[in-house]
Structure 1
Amino acid sequence: MKRSNFLKLSGAAIAGTTVLPHAWANKNENQIQIAELEKHIIDKCELVDIDFSWPRFVGRNGRIDYHGQHKKCTVLKIYTRQGAMGWGLSDKKAEELFPLLQNKKVSDLVKPEKGIADGLDRRVDFALHDLMGVILNQPVFKLIGNRGPKEVSIYSGMIYLDELNPGNETKGLDTILENCEWDYNYGYRKLKVKIGRSGRWYPHDEGLKKDIEVLNLIHSSFKNRKVELLVDSNDMYSLEDTIGFLSGIGDISLFWVEEPFREEINAGQKLRTWMNKNGFEKTYYADGEANPDFDVCLQLGKEQIMNVFLPDTYGYGFSEWIKLMTTLKQINMLSSPHAWGDRLKTNYTTHLSAGLGNVCTVEGVTCNSDDIDYGDYPIVGGKIKVSDSPGFGMKLLKK
């Protein structure tokens, strides 16, 4: 730049006029962040086993037997020579990647808005993003875009086929209402109800009838409390079962219908057509959680048949989600990354929402743990607020 032009820019800045285009400012900030990450060299990595629990025994869904209550997960801690530490959800096989991290600059492993480097995967993804946030003293959502809302709706993902739980024989469906009430009092205003009883645990017709009865019961109990209902049959319905269920619940509105059957273009088209003609035109069709066929799901998204894409927050990977969100926005398809299992994934998903936008709701998984401080992610009036603390804003209490 010529000195005369530099002086003109400087004078304009002094006068209070903004002279740097927004893109220049962002580029400059990005360069500063990368320079700071370059100062940190990976010193060591270690895996830690964590104990946590759900607030109640979780029973069967349409496909899987009892889920239980007391759980374990593995997290990865990454340290730098300069004294920073980041951690995140991982698994035992992460040790295979330790040689790719050791003695590397953090800037060579993860970058703002880009995610992790080629050759790395989800096993180190969350710990590296947390570490980046700690080093830069910024919450992850600001480092991946800061383009979404800081509060997003959240649903309880813990309403299962609980009438089948051991000891509930005499309570029957009342136990499901008790669990809905607990979740409502916790702050949820969306309740996802597991259906699909006809697939494995009941005779077919009896199971479908029971699913309809459960939905009607919950709706009747909560209809005056501004609660939205979602349903999930875990791929245990057929197209005919799904239409039969929706016909059976009549004019009860649903936020979404999840995993009615394995993703398939012809069946998806027929379901969406039926829904649009029979009072469910505003109900989302959500799918793609379990080993999805991406080509099929994205084609259904382009055709506005499947409305919400659900690959797992951890199973798919944080950095992969950053890339995928661009594609989903281009085809006008919403997302709600699957978070069932533990609260870590729920909190991670709020950063995807606040950072990238395009998340219609977050799966809430209520957890308790003496090993983790889950941080400042309040759930109030049906919404969860993302943490503003550095990284993911959670503390590992177990040494």
Structure 2
Amino acid sequence: MKRREFLQASAAAAAALGYSNTASANEPAEISQALSDHKISSIQYDRVRLKYPRHVGRNSRLGHHGNGPTVSICKIRTDKGAEGWGTFYAGRDRAEILNNSLKGLKISDLITPASGIKPSAPEQLDIALHDLAGKILEMPVYKMLGAAGPESTNCYSGMIYFDDLDPEDNPEGIDKVLENCRYDYNFGYRQFKIKIGRGKKWMPEKEGMQRDIDVTNQIAKAFPYAELLADANDMYTYQDTIEYLKGIGDTELYWMEEPFREEKEGFEKLKKWLKENGKSTYIADGERLPVQAQLISLAKQGLLDFYLTDIIGMGFTPWRQIMPRLKKLNTLASPHAWGSMLKTCYISHLSRGLGNIPTIEGVTCFSEDVDFSGFEIKNGKISTPETPGFGLKLLK
């Protein structure tokens, strides 16, 4: 998602879900006082470099995803020496404007731990303010959220792309995909999300569909104790989806993500087919260009099992506000995280804080700029550190 799409998703979510981002009247006085004692002294812009363990190739819609992103961040410092930082989807100029306009404000003017950032707080500071509040209060973010979720959450590898198609002059084939799965399995993952839809852009349609089926079945055979998810990035049709599901036969999928552009009729037909064929596969959607009112409508009708809007695109505070609504609708959540391990880490706190997130998208990254060591992935689950804030340390 682009930054403009992030902002649109956040605003649309607020309107669709009818939440009010106001402070809790039940905030303990000592917490409010602790945040009031700190005032913003500076907001600084910076960037951190993240590296994937391997080159990530194409999906059904986009070309090569490369070797890892350089992520914009901001660091908020207070007059008492506290510092919080986080992903910042805005530029250096915006950081300078915020630095000039917010300097001297009390942290309590911008965030309430019980509910998130206030209307007076720029949404680009959502992550950094949560991190800062946690550090001032000497507690991890998940405890500010209520610690209502499990101590660890399933975490799937979101890095199984069309690497069988590369290099273009001498493709390595399915063995390369299996090699990548082996790396991720050894890294600690026990779920793989498989990108499908090769026949929509990169291969002849018939051959591409067969390759999607063969890749899925060969991964299932090679890793019988792993759980598989599939993601077509909205490039299948309903008929493509059924052809694929028939083609993989007895291979079970945990979920089918973005099979085609979300809409009532197609999801009703897909739900019916899954039920008639004894499949427990969930339908997951809401990542690309989400229309929040439509997603909520689908959830109300029992047609959307997993709500996937991006953790940054929606915003950390809006996700906090949405979750109770999703629980009432019996709709599960797994915020989109692709691109950055930072997102995976933020979601782990959301899961441990609020629950209702059975699995998290894992985006394996290494960095000389960020210490990810508190977020170990072991036997398929990701841990959440007990250190204050998000538990992510800058190394520069």
TM-score for the superposition, normalised by structure 1: 0.90
Change (3 A) 1:77 1:147: same
Q: Corresponding residue for 1:252?
A: 251
**Separation in 2 of the partners of 1:168 and 1:179?**
20
2:365 corresponds to which letter in structure 1?
Answer: C
Residue in structure 1 matched with residue 17 of structure 2 by the alignment: none
Shift of 1:166: 2.0
Give the deviation of 1:279 after TM superposition: 2.3
Shift in Å, 1:51: 1.1
Q: Does 1:163 align with 2:164?
A: yes
Report the CA distance between 1:287 and its aligned residue: 0.3
Greater relative CO, 1 or 2 (CA 8 Å, sep 6+) = 2
1:57 aligned residue: 55
How far, CA to CA, are the matches of 1:126 and 1:383 in structure 2? 23
CA 120–262 in structure 1, closer or farther in 2 if over 3 Å, else same: farther
Which letter does structure 2 place at the counterpart of 1:43? S
Partner secondary structure for residue 30 of structure 2: helix
Equivalent in the alignment of 2:130: 129
CA–CA separation in structure 2 for the residues paired with 1:98 and 1:267? 48
- Counterparts of 2:318 and 2:25 in 1: how far apart (Å)? 22
Deviation at 1:375, TM superposition (A): 3.8
Corresponding position of 1:144: 145
1:164-183 maps to which residues of 2 (within 5 A)? 164-166=165-167, 169-183=170-184
- The 8 Å contact of residues 68 and 365 in structure 2, kept in 1 or not, is answered as no
What is residue 361 of structure 1 aligned with on the other side? 359
Which residue is 1:104 aligned to? Answer: 105
| Distance across 1 between alignment mates of 2:208 and 2:99 | 49
Quote the residue 1:384 is aligned against: 382
- 1:316 is matched with which residue? 314
User: What is the rounded CA distance, in whole Å, between the counterparts of 1:264 and 1:169 in structure 2?
Assistant: 39
**Equivalent of 1:295, from 289, 293, 296?**
293
C-alpha distance in 2, partners of 1:352/1:339? 12
Q: Secondary structure at the match of 2:221?
A: helix
Which residue matches 1:275?
Answer: 274
| Residue pair 1:343, 1:366 contacting (<8 A) in 2 also | yes
Q: Structure 2 CA distance, aligned partners of 1:241 and 1:307?
A: 20
* Structure 1 stretch displaced more, 253-262 or 117-126: 117-126
State how far apart, in whole Å, the 2-side matches of 1:122 and 1:164 are.
Answer: 40
Q: What letter is aligned with 1:198?
A: G
How far is the alpha carbon of 1:374 from its aligned partner? 1.6
The offset of 1:101, in angstroms, is: 2.5
Q: Is the 8 A contact 1:122 1:316 kept in 2?
A: no
**Equivalent of residue 31 in structure 1, options 29, 32, 40:** 29
Aligned 8 A contact 1:263 1:293 in 2: no
1:100 Cα offset (Å):
4.5
Between the aligned partners of 1:391 and 1:171, the Cα distance in structure 2 is 43
- For residue 246 of structure 1, what is the amino acid of its counterpart? L
Superposition deviation, residue 170 in structure 1: 4.9
Q: CA deviation at 1:167?
A: 6.5
Tell me the residue number matched to 2:118. 117
Query: Separation in 2 of the partners of 1:254 and 1:318?
Result: 29
CA 1:41–1:231: 2 relative to 1, 3 Å: same
CA distance in 2, matches of 1:88, 1:172: 39
Hey, what's the Cα distance between the residues in 1 that align with 2:43 and 2:357? 32
Distance 2:341 2:217 in 1: 29
Asked if 1 retains the 8 angstrom alpha-carbon contact of 2:43 and 2:98, the reply is: no
For 1:30 and 1:210, the matched residues in 2 are separated by 57
C-alpha distance 177-34 of structure 1, shift in aligned 2 (>3 A): same
Q: CA deviation at 1:35?
A: 1.0
Preserved CA contact (<8 Å) 1:374 1:395: yes
CA spacing shift, 1:100–1:329, aligned 2, 3 Å: farther
Letter in 2 for 1:69: N
Q: Is the 8 A contact 2:255 2:283 kept in 1?
A: yes
The offset of 1:165, in angstroms, is 2.2
Q: Could you report, residue by residue, the CA deviation over 1:310-358 in whole angstroms, capped at 9, with x for unpaired residues?
A: 0101111100100110110111100000111111000000000011110
Measured after TM superposition, the shift of residue 120 of structure 1 is 3.1
Q: What corresponds to 1:306 in structure 2?
A: 304
Cα distance between partner residues in 2 of 1:167 and 1:274: 37
2:18 counterpart residue number: none
Aligned partner of 1:42 among 40, 61, 64: 40
Cα deviation for residue 251 of structure 1 reads 1.2
Equivalent pair of 2:254/2:282 in contact (CA under 8 Å):
yes
Unaligned 5+ segments in structure 2 are: 1-23
Contact 2:231-2:256 within 8 A present in 1 as well: yes
Unaligned runs of 5+ in 1: 1-25
**2:311, 2:319 within 8 Å by CA — same for their partners in 1?**
yes
| Contact 1:251/1:279, CA 8 A, preserved across alignment | no
What secondary structure, in the 3-state scheme, does the structure 2 residue paired with 1:78 have? strand
Aligned to 2:192, what secondary structure does the other structure show? strand
* 1:319-358 correspondence to structure 2 within 5 Å: 319-358=317-356
Query: Match for 1:40: what amino acid?
Result: H
SS at match of 1:344: helix
- Mapped partners of 1:153, 1:129: distance in 2: 23
Instruction: Using structure 2 for the length normalisation, give the TM-score.
Output: 0.91
- 2:5 — aligned with what? none
- Distance in 1 separating the partners of 2:124 and 2:27: 28
RMSD value over aligned CA atoms?
1.5
- Counterpart of 2:106, as a letter, is K
CA separation of 1:29 and 1:300: change in aligned 2, threshold 3 A: closer
Q: Is the 8 A contact 1:37 1:106 kept in 2?
A: yes
Cα drift, residue 99 of structure 1: 4.2
Aligned residues: 370
CA–CA distance in structure 2, aligned partners of residues 52 and 122 of structure 1: 23
From the superposition, tell whether residues 213 and 168 of structure 1 become closer, same or farther in structure 2 (CA, over 3 Å). farther
